[in-house]
Amino acid sequence: MHESATMPGVLAPVVTPFGADLEPDSGRLIAHCRWLARQGCGLAAFGTNSEANSLSVAERMTLLDELVAAGLDPGSMLPGTGTCALPDTVALTRHAVGHGVRGVLMLPPFYYKGVDDEGLYRGFSEVIERVGDDRLRIYLYHIPQLSGVPIGIDLIGRLCDAFPGIVAGMKDSSGEPANLARVLGAFPGFRLYAGTELLLTDNLRLGGVGCISATANINPGAIVEQYRHWQDDAGPGQQALDAVRRSVQRYPMIAALKHVIAHYRDDTEWRRLRPPLTSLAALDGAALIAELEAVQFRFRP
Amino acid sequence: MHESATMPGVLAPVVTPFGADLEPDSGRLIAHCRWLARQGCGLAAFGTNSEANSLSVAERMTLLDELVAAGLDPGSMLPGTGTCALPDTVALTRHAVGHGVRGVLMLPPFYYKGVDDEGLYRGFSEVIERVGDDRLRIYLYHIPQLSGVPIGIDLIGRLCDAFPGIVAGMKDSSGEPANLARVLGAFPGFRLYAGTELLLTDNLRLGGVGCISATANINPGAIVEQYRHWQDDAGPGQQALDAVRRSVQRYPMIAALKHVIAHYRDDTEWRRLRPPLTSLAALDGAALIAELEAVQFRFRP
Tell me, letter by letter, the H, E, C secondary structure of A105-122. EECCCCCCCCCCHHHHHH
pLDDT at B5: 55
Judged by DSSP in three states, B31 sits in helix
Interface test with A, best of B15, B18, B46, B54 (most A CBs within 10 A): B54
Closest Cβ opposite residue B276 in set A22, A48, A120: A120
B175 burial type by CB count under 10 A (0-12 exposed, 13-18 middle, 19+ buried):
middle
Q: Is A148 on the interface with B (CB under 8 A)?
A: yes
Mean pLDDT of the residues in chain B? 96
pLDDT at A75: 97
Give yes or no for residue A1 having a pLDDT over 50.
no
Q: What is the DSSP string of A153-202?
A: HHHHHHHHHHSTTTEEEEEE-S--HHHHHHHHHHSTT-EEEESSGGGHHH
Give yes or no for residue A113 having a pLDDT over 70.
yes
Distance (Å) from the C-alpha of residue B45 to the closest C-alpha of chain A? 16
Please state, for a pLDDT cut of 70, what percent of chain A lies above it. 98
Residue B271 and residue B17 in contact, taking contact as beta carbons nearer than 8 Å: no
Give yes or no for residue A2 having a pLDDT over 60.
no
pLDDT (tens digit per residue) in B20-41: 999 999 999 999 999 999 999 9
The H-assigned helical ranges of chain B are 26-38, 57-69, 86-98, 117-131, 144-147, 153-162, 177-186, 200-206, 220-228, 238-248, 253-265, 282-294
pLDDT (tens digit per residue) in B157-191: 999 999 999 999 999 999 999 999 999 999 999 99
User: Which ipTM was obtained for this model?
Assistant: 0.96
Please judge whether A87 and B56 are an interchain contact, meaning their C-beta atoms are less than 8 angstroms apart. yes
pLDDT at A4: 37
